[in-house]
Amino acid sequence: MADGRLDKALVQAFPDVSRTRLQALIAEGRVTVEGKTVTEARRKVKQGEALGVVLPEAVAPEPQPEPMTLDIAYEDKDVIVIDKPAGLVVHPGAGNETGTLVNALIAHCGDSLSGIGGVRRPGIVHRLDKDTSGLLVVAKHDKAHQGLSEQFAAHGRDGRLKRSYLALVWGVPDKARGVISAAIDRSTANRQKMAVSRGANAREAVTHYEIIETFGTPPVASLLECQLETGRTHQIRVHMAHIGHPLLGDAVYGSGFRTSARKLPEAARKALESLDRQALHATTLGFEHPRTGRAMTFESPPPEDFSALLRALRLKDTNT
């Protein structure tokens, strides 16, 4: 943990708990620094200081409906395609029992959601990280869930499924186009992280990338389009860090590149600070409709925080 704000330090220590939830726990007096209760999220902490969090007892496991405004790209009686904002957790979990996409979907769809995923993940066929924005599809009933799951299980190799992401990474990969094939498992050093692994439990992971644009002279960052052939937890983030080009804003897998921000133009440094998340957006989602068989493709432009960083990266630093 590097020096910085208490809430940001806790996000690094507990990546599965939303920053909003951690800020609430701080305000409730459930967080300590060196054994002393702290109620100010902006409180500065130093590397090596002991942090403590008291999580409240678990609530009932069945998610409850919570009305929420959803950005719906498409909906029919079988599926619903959501353009998820950054910061929204997909399904309930430790530290995120409420305020998730699942809670919103239960309110929106009622009892029609597929039960295959279990009570904690009704209708969920795939997921996006909390701080990754963009498109995902949800099944409204079990038959649709089965049809979509078959496509995701095929990893797009049969041509039915397409998932592409826009990613801003530090530096520029050696090749204009490339394939990263490196199995992923949970990190043995930090169970909150994933890592490239050759262990017996590691699962195949394949990411295709193409350089879209570079920024700076010499280039300090680049915009990539990444296509998933598999869908492992944190796959793009882990793979790009593995080849030495972690995502901008990724506090978990790109912490060693924080000083690289000094190389950015001033406007880009401020935009990156405002982004306050990994620069990753699920921009394209294509699949075969599970009932009609019709090929469907959806596009999502980057949200404003991502777009603002892009615009700033394209500017020349007036201070140089």
Q: What are the residues whose beta carbons fall under 8 Å from the beta carbon of 200, sequence distance 6 or more? A: none
Strands 280-288 and 133-139: parallel
Residue of higher predicted confidence among 49 and 73:
73
Residue of 141, 207, 211 lying closest to 176 (CA atoms): 211
Which pLDDT does position 61 carry in this prediction?
A: 59
For residue 319, pLDDT over 50 is answered with no
Does the pLDDT at position 218 exceed 60?
yes
Between 299 and 42, residue with greater pLDDT: 299
pLDDT, residue 120, reads: 64
Confidence at residue 251, expressed as pLDDT on a 0 to 100 scale: 93
Place 153 in a pLDDT band, splitting at 50, 70 and 90. Answer: confident
Over residues 155-163, mean pLDDT: 85
14-60 pLDDT, tens digit per residue, is 876 777 778 888 888 889 998 889 888 888 998 888 888 887 764 55
- Name every residue whose Cβ is closer than 8 Å to that of residue 97 and which is 6 or more positions away in sequence: 58, 59, 63
Q: Which of 78, 129, 131, 305 is catalytic?
A: 129
Which fold is adopted by the domain 155-320? Pseudouridine synthase (3.30.2350)
Q: What is the pLDDT at residue 41? A: 86
pTM of the model: 0.78
For residue 177, give the 3-state DSSP assignment. strand
Average pLDDT over residues 199-218: 95
Same fold, 4-53 and 58-153: no
279 or 117, which is more confident?
279
Structural tokens at position 100 = 């998730």
* Residue 129 annotated to the active site: yes
Domain boundaries, the chain: 4-53, 58-153, 155-320
Nearest C-alpha neighbor of 107 from the set 144, 135, 143, 68: 68
Q: How far is CA 280 from the centre of its chain?
A: 7
Report the share of the chain in percent with pLDDT over 90: 61
* pLDDT mean across residues, the chain: 89
Select the CATH number that applies to the domain covering 4-53 from these four: 3.40.350.10, 3.10.290.10, 3.20.20.60, 2.40.50.140: 3.10.290.10
> Quick check: 318 pLDDT over 50?
no
- Pick the residue with more confidence: 235 or 96? 235
Question: What pLDDT shows up at residue 42?
Answer: 86
pLDDT at residue 278, as a whole number: 97
Per-residue pLDDT, 320: 42
121, pLDDT greater than 90: no
Amino acid at 290: P
Q: Among the CATH numbers 3.90.1300.10, 3.30.2350.10, 3.30.70.520, 3.40.50.720, which is that of 58-153?
A: 3.30.2350.10
Give the residues across from 295 on adjacent strands. Answer: 288
Q: Tell which residue, 311, 254, 177, has the closest CA to residue 12.
A: 254
- C-alpha 189/C-alpha 180 separation (Å) is 23
> How much is the pLDDT for 116?
62
